[in-house]
């Protein structure tokens, strides 16, 4: 089916999220929609899916104009969406999820599960998905859950499939598998819109690329375009894709983690006998797919986890069992992975957020009273130093962009005397410009002799920053490897292979 | 789905350029302070509070008209003489609200100013415990806690202050001070139990406070039948009167009921203002209230904050109980001494948006309703319940700010209705 969007304009108040966007997706084509966070990609797709009504413009399918009042209309017209955050019910089986919203019933209103099961098996067989229709969705790995979403869309006879940032949650291997699936779907004649901000995937799978910036189409490109060309179109200026850094000047071991295990509130062992060292002046990257214990590991370092065994020492002093306050006082700087949930108080001003983890003593507090003048002076200085773009230091942090929010967190954490810096997912959800800034700051911190731990699920980030890489898999460390380890090896290790296995296999592959 | 919400922080230089062009008539980027203030007022919830009161009074007026007998009989011949009905409606509503005003602010029918102003002092008397308890509830709100336990905290505070007030013999000044202290501590302990249970066991404060209300009620009822609180030689569950040395002195002389408890309440308001806005402890309170996760990660001891906040909250509510037994009803009290103030305090805190001075004025407004409600009933025969309806409607309208905004066509705060300068500044 041929999909055409003509002059779509969507406004929120006076903010123009989509400005005269036109797009044509030919039948059997993978059309990548490339743009930074906030460029208007998802808004456009929500217009297409009937979730938003556009002020101007029209949607055409095979040349006939469509009017979607809601997702139901879009689905009936043959548009399917694979959402970034899966719209599945965890406690339902695959078949139940697939039939949800389109339940067929037999006599007396009984659900016709048999036909749903058959649909799942048919589509699975057609594309080689290997999905068990009776499995509970919550038991399935993320990659398989995504296939359930795809099956769900295909079961409604979707001729146009929209993938909204589909690789954000996948391992590199799962991403490769998804790319194969997308190519299969293309062969079967499905038109695909592939929304992403990851350049590598685009070049691997797309037939055509449309780049969106600030709500406007800024260019079209073919997959033969270079990363640098695509990135500069996306950001609107030339960008440095690699991080400039000198070789690490490695000092003595500062942080020593020995045999650390963490048990979560459900009684599960989420970090399993992890041991590693971080030396002063080096960046240790902790790689791994989301949910393999990295979150709990960083929380344990900070004293946020209650049930911890093993020892953590920083410069010879034990950190295990200390309160968060004491850990912070010992010189640990921490950038939490969810900055809005754990790093910032959205309703507080920039200035208030800058004193959040120094709320009890000088310089911001004297005799129990806040020193507002000192705080204001400090905040002005940090806003300038970290280039935080806001109306002023009294702007509420919740209203800043993700990049500026992260700068507030960095400004706060890096303005203390640090003995260790832990940054979890420091660039998640940030645009290319902010990523550059954050990476530069992290490298500067390392160069100042501070040991740094960077936790990231993005291989690009791991490779760009790391002096050494620890790969986590199912709560354990699959191996600690040098910073220049090839991506394929890291990918295999993230899926559970040991370093030896990973290098062995990759040798066979390249042979 | 980060792009579903219009990303406020991000900038569209083109949009901003267009918007700041003079022809579009949008707010210029360097707007004066006053207009920024006005915008905050209009967009913020201060305006919502005021408009909720206005709306509630309007709906209350409709109810007064509907239930008025004159209006009903005039409606019977509406088509022959419609003016009669409008006259009747006007008389009923105007009469009711005039009585409310005369009962709560100034009575024009009196000859002297001293007599005319008496209703206002009554309002302040009623407002005294409402403000104290409202401050307690508001403080808990700011920490993210719902303190429904005002009744229990007031009863315990009243029992403690009352016991000190009638059973000890101490000199002037000292006696009052000790009694106030005992009451505030009693309320603080009763509130602190809640904080402790929440911090230690994760028990939900709403359930705990409600249950502790019953514990306090029956505990005090029991004590009122034992020699601890019961007046000697009496069979009524009522305490003996307070010693003169323990009673709040009248502020404006014996002709008026308003007592020195009001001074304590003003001091409490200033204290809460300092605590929340200027102190390290208040900073931690607010951080925990807005985002306990971030507070915890920033090294704030969230559990401690819960305990301390509930102690202070309970203490402030306790002050309301103290003001009841040492100021308003000094002739001895029974188990109904809380007079529903513990619950009204929730409304007061909501109406005052949990800001200390907001609570102060909301408390005075509710004091006026209480003082005026009685005179409305006496003068116009309108049931005092209508005042309760108005109070309840206020809560309803405050709880539904989008409704009020729709009715008055106010801008939604935070919506990029007009590109403001903050938007312009943010580029990444």
Residue A21 pLDDT exceeds 50 = yes
- Residues in chain B within 8 Å Cβ distance of A342: 293-294, 296-297
pLDDT at res. A273 = 93
Tokens at residue B312, please? 């202070």
- Residues in chain A within 8 Å Cβ distance of B419: 14-15
pLDDT level of residue B426 (50, 70, 90 thresholds): very low
How distant is the Cα of B87 from the closest Cα of chain A, in angstroms? 45
Residue B422 pLDDT exceeds 60 = no
pLDDT at res. B345 = 94
H/E element, A372 = helix A372-385
Assess B381–A contact: CB distance below 8 Å, yes or no: no
Give pLDDT tens digits for A154-180.
888 888 999 988 877 777 778 888 888
Give the global pTM.
Answer: 0.78
Nearest CA in chain B to A235: B428
- Residues in chain A within 8 Å Cβ distance of B416: 12-15
Assess B270–A contact: CB distance below 8 Å, yes or no: no
Question: What integer best gives the mean pLDDT of chain A?
Answer: 87
Q: Where are the domains of chain B?
A: 40-104+382-412, 119-380
Residue A361 pLDDT exceeds 90 = no
Task: Choose the closest CB to A14 out of B15, B286, B301.
Answer: B15
Residue A340 pLDDT exceeds 60 = yes
pLDDT level of residue A240 (50, 70, 90 thresholds): low
Residue A193: phi, psi to the nearest 5?
-105, 125
Give pLDDT tens digits for A83-99.
877 888 989 999 999 88
- Residues in chain B within 8 Å Cβ distance of A215: 12
The pLDDT of B337-359, averaged and rounded, is 91
- Among A239, A298, A345, the strongest candidate for a mutation testing the B interface, having the largest count of B CBs within 10 A, is A345
Least confident of B103-107, B138-142, B259-263: B103-107
- Residues in chain B within 8 Å Cβ distance of A12: 5-6, 415-416
The residue with greater pLDDT, A227 or B25, is A227
Between helix B385-399 and helix B341-351 the angle, nearest 10°, is 40
**Cross-chain Cβ contact B10/A327 below 8 Å:** no
* Helical ranges in A141-280 per DSSP H: 142-155, 172-187, 199-205, 227-235
pLDDT level of residue A101 (50, 70, 90 thresholds): confident
Give pLDDT tens digits for A170-223.
777 788 888 888 898 898 888 999 988 777 788 888 999 998 888 888 888 888
How distant is the Cα of B371 from the closest Cα of chain A, in angstroms? 38
How distant is the Cα of B352 from the closest Cα of chain A, in angstroms? 18
Task: Choose the closest CB to B280 out of A84, A302, A359.
Answer: A359
Exposure string (b/e) for B148-176, b if CB count within 10 Å is 16 or more? Answer: bbbbbbbbbbbbbbbbbbbeeebeeeebb
H/E element, A350 = helix A350-354
The residue with greater pLDDT, A340 or B405, is A340
pLDDT level of residue B183 (50, 70, 90 thresholds): very high
What letter would DSSP give residue B279? B
Residue A38 pLDDT exceeds 90 = no
How distant is the Cα of A115 from the closest Cα of chain B, in angstroms? 32
User: CA A373, A377, A379, A384: dihedral to nearest 10 degrees?
Assistant: 160
| d(C-alpha A502, C-alpha B83), whole Å | 93
pLDDT at res. B403 = 74
How distant is the Cα of A432 from the closest Cα of chain B, in angstroms? 9
- Residues in chain A within 8 Å Cβ distance of B418: 13-14
The pLDDT of A234-256, averaged and rounded, is 80
**Cross-chain Cβ contact B428/A389 below 8 Å:** yes
Assess B303–A contact: CB distance below 8 Å, yes or no: no
Contact A169, A197 (CB under 8 A): no
Question: For strand A468-473 and strand A3-12, is the pairing parallel, antiparallel, or unpaired?
Answer: unpaired
| CATH 1.10.3470 assigned to B119-380 | yes
Nearest CA in chain A to B294: A342
pLDDT at res. A238 = 67
Give pLDDT tens digits for A460-498.
889 889 999 999 988 999 999 998 888 888 888 887 788
The pLDDT of B224-246, averaged and rounded, is 91
Question: For strand A15-25 and strand A3-12, is the pairing parallel, antiparallel, or unpaired?
Answer: antiparallel
The pLDDT of A256-261, averaged and rounded, is 94
The pLDDT of B212-226, averaged and rounded, is 95
- Bridge partners (DSSP) of residue A130 are none
Assess B178–A contact: CB distance below 8 Å, yes or no: no
pLDDT at res. B326 = 95
pLDDT level of residue B239 (50, 70, 90 thresholds): very high
Q: Could you tell me what percent of chain A has a pLDDT over 70? A: 97
Q: Could you tell me what percent of chain B has a pLDDT over 70? A: 85
pLDDT at res. A507 = 47
The pLDDT of A325-346, averaged and rounded, is 92
Q: Could you tell me what percent of chain B has a pLDDT over 90? A: 53
Tokens at residue A310, please? 């093993």
Task: Choose the closest CB to B426 out of A304, A365, A389.
Answer: A389
Give pLDDT tens digits for B107-135.
888 888 888 899 999 999 999 999 999 99
**Cross-chain Cβ contact B280/A16 below 8 Å:** no
- Among A9, A11, A15, the strongest candidate for a mutation testing the B interface, having the largest count of B CBs within 10 A, is A15
pLDDT level of residue B188 (50, 70, 90 thresholds): very high
pLDDT at res. A241 = 64
Domains and CATH numbers, chain A: 3-235 (3.40.50.300), 253-510 (3.40.50.300)
- Residues in chain B within 8 Å Cβ distance of A46: 4
Give pLDDT tens digits for B71-84.
888 888 888 888 88
The pLDDT of A65-84, averaged and rounded, is 86
How distant is the Cα of A8 from the closest Cα of chain B, in angstroms? 16
- If you count residue pairs, one on A and one on B, with CB atoms under 8 Å apart, how many are there? 164
Task: Choose the closest CB to A370 out of B283, B419, B425.
Answer: B283
| d(C-alpha A200, C-alpha B269), whole Å | 60
Contact A92, A140 (CB under 8 A): no
Residue B305 pLDDT exceeds 90 = yes
Task: Choose the closest CB to A41 out of B3, B425, B426.
Answer: B3
């Amino acid at each position: 089916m041929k999909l055409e969007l003509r002059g779509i304009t969507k406004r929120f108040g006076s903010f123009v999220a989509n400005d005269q966007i036109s797009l044509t997706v030919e039948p059997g084509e993978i059309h990548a929609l490339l743009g930074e966070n906030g460029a208007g990609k998802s808004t456009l797709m929500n217009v297409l899916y009937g979730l938003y009504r556009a002020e101007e413009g029209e949607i055409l399918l095979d040349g006939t104009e469509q009017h979607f009042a809601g997702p139901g209309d879009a689905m009936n017209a043959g548009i399917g969406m694979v959402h970034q955050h899966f719209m599945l019910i965890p406690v339902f089986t695959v078949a139940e999820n697939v039939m949800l919203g389109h339940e067929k019933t037999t006599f007396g209103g009984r659900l016709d599960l048999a036909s749903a099961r058959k649909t799942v098996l048919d589509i699975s067989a057609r594309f080689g998905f290997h999905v068990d229709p009776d499995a509970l969705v919550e038991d399935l790995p993320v990659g398989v859950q995504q296939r359930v979403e795809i099956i769900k869309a295909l079961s409604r006879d979707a001729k146009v499939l929209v993938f909204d940032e589909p690789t954000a949650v996948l391992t590199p291997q799962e991403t490769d598998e998804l790319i194969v699936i997308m190519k299969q779907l293309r062969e079967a004649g499905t038109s695909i819109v592939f929304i992403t901000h990851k350049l590598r995937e685009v070049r691997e799978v797309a037939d055509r690329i449309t780049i969106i910036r600030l709500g406007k189409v800024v260019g079209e490109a073919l997959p033969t375009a270079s990363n640098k060309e695509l990135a500069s179109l996306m950001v609107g200026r030339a960008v440095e894709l690699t991080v400039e850094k000198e070789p690490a000047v490695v000092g003595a071991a500062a942080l020593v983690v020995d045999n650390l295990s963490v048990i979560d509130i459900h009684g599960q062992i989420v970090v399993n006998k992890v041991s590693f060292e971080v030396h002063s002046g080096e960046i240790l990257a902790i790689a791994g797919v989301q949910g393999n214990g990295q979150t709990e590991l960083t929380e344990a370092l900070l004293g946020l986890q209650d049930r911890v065994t093993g020892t953590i020492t920083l410069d010879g002093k034990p950190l295990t069992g200390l309160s968060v306050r004491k850990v912070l006082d010992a010189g640990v700087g921490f950038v939490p992975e969810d900055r809005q949930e754990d790093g910032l108080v959205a309703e507080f001003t920039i200035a208030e957020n800058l004193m959040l983890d120094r709320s009890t003593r000088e310089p911001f507090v004297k005799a129990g009273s806040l020193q507002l003048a000192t705080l204001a002076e400090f905040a002005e200085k940090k806003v300038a130093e970290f280039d935080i773009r806001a109306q002023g230091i009294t702007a509420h942090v919740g209203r800043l962009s993700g990049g500026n929010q992260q700068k507030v967190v960095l400004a706060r954490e890096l303005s203390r005397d640090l003995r260790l810096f832990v940054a979890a997912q420091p660039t998640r959800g940030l645009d290319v410009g902010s990523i550059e800034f954050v990476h530069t700051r992290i490298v500067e911190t390392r160069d100042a002799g501070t040991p740094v731990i960077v936790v990231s699920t993005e291989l690009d980030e791991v490779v760009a920053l790391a002096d050494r890489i620890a790969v986590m898999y199912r709560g354990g460390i699959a191996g600690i490897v040098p910073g220049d380890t090839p991506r394929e090896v890291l990918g295999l290790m993230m899926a559970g292979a040991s370093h030896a296995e990973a290098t062995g296999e990759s040798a066979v592959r390249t042979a | 789905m980060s792009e579903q919400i219009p990303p406020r922080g991000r900038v569209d230089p083109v949009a901003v350029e267009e918007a700041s062009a003079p022809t579009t008539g949008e707010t210029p980027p360097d707007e004066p302070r006053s207009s920024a203030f006005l915008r905050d007022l209009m967009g913020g919830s201060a305006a919502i509070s005021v408009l909720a009161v206005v709306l509630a009074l309007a709906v209350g007026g409709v109810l007064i008209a509907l239930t008025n007998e004159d209006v009903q009989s005039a409606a019977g011949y509406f088509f022959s003489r419609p003016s009669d009905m409008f006259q009747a409606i006007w008389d009923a509503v105007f009469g009711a609200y005039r009585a409310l005003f005369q009962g709560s602010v100034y009575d024009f029918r009196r000859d002297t100013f001293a007599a005319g102003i008496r209703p206002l002092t009554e309002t302040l008397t009623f407002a005294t415990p409402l403000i104290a308890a409202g401050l307690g509830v508001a403080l808990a709100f700011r920490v993210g806690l719902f303190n429904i336990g005002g009744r229990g905290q007031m009863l315990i505070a009243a029992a403690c202050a009352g016991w000190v007030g009638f059973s000890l013999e101490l000199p002037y000044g000292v006696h009052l001070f000790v009694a106030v202290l005992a009451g505030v501590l009693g309320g603080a302990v009763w509130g602190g139990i809640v904080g402790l249970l929440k911090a230690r066991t994760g028990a939900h404060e709403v359930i705990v406070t409600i249950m502790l209300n019953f514990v306090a009620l029956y505990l005090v009822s029991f004590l009122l039948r034992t020699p601890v609180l019961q007046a000697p030689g009496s069979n009524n569950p009522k305490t003996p009167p307070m010693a003169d040395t323990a009673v709040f002195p009248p502020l404006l002389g014996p002709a008026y009921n308003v007592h020195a408890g009001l001074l304590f309440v003003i001091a409490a308001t200033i204290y809460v203002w300092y605590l929340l806005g200027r102190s390290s402890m208040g900073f931690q309170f607010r951080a925990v209230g807005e985002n306990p996760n971030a507070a915890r990660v920033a090294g704030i001891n969230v559990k401690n904050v819960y305990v301390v906040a509930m102690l202070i909250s309970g203490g402030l509510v306790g002050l309301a109980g103290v003001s009841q037994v040492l100021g308003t009803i000094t002739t001895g009290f029974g188990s109904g001494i809380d007079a529903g103030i513990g619950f009204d305090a929730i409304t007061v805190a909501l109406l005052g948006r949990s800001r200390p001075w907001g609570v102060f004025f909301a408390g005075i407004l509710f004091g006026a309703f209480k003082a005026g409600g009685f005179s409305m009933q006496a003068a116009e025969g309108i049931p005092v319940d209508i005042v309760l309806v108005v109070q309840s409607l206020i809560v309803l309208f405050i709880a539904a700010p989008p409704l009020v905004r729709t009715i008055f066509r106010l801008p939604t705060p935070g919506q990029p209705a007009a590109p403001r300068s903050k938007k312009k500044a943010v580029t990444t």
